[in-house]
Amino acid sequence: MERLIIKAIEIKGKCPVFTAGDKIVIEGAKVNLEETDAICTHAFASFLPYIVALRKGVKASDIGLGKGEKAYVQCLDPGPPYTDGGTVIFEITVVRNEAEESMENSEGSD
């Protein structure tokens, strides 16, 4: 099962939910609440459209979200001077379970 690790890497302004380094862990279609530090609806809305594509192997660079393997997305809150909050830059890393992948590949080779 693919895991997405979404990490808050930069905060501009004042975010009431995240601090730099906080993460959200998604396993399949489920948010792993035990490994997740915080969830914000504004932030979740910004990366929700990309979760399935990244899990299914679409490269971040192919959808304009990065130059390498990692995707980068920004929270919807623009921060000062427009709001009292702040915007957060998130780094999304896809972690593939290589053991499961090799089992799937060997099943297809029969």
Domain that holds residue 79: 3-108
pLDDT (tens digit, 9 = 90+) per residue, 56-76?
999 999 999 998 889 999 999
Cβ-contact 17, 40 below 8 angstroms: yes
pLDDT of the chain along its 110 residues, tens only?
Answer: 789 999 999 999 999 999 999 999 999 889 999 999 999 998 999 999 999 999 999 999 999 999 888 999 999 998 888 999 899 999 999 998 755 444 444 455 55
59-83: b (≥16 Cβ within 10 Å) or e: ebeeeebbeeebbebebebebeeee
Using an 8 Å Cβ cutoff, are 77 and 83 in contact?
yes
* pTM (2 d.p.): 0.84
Spatial contact of 18 and 40, defined as CB atoms under 8 Å apart: yes
**Total structural domains in the chain?**
1
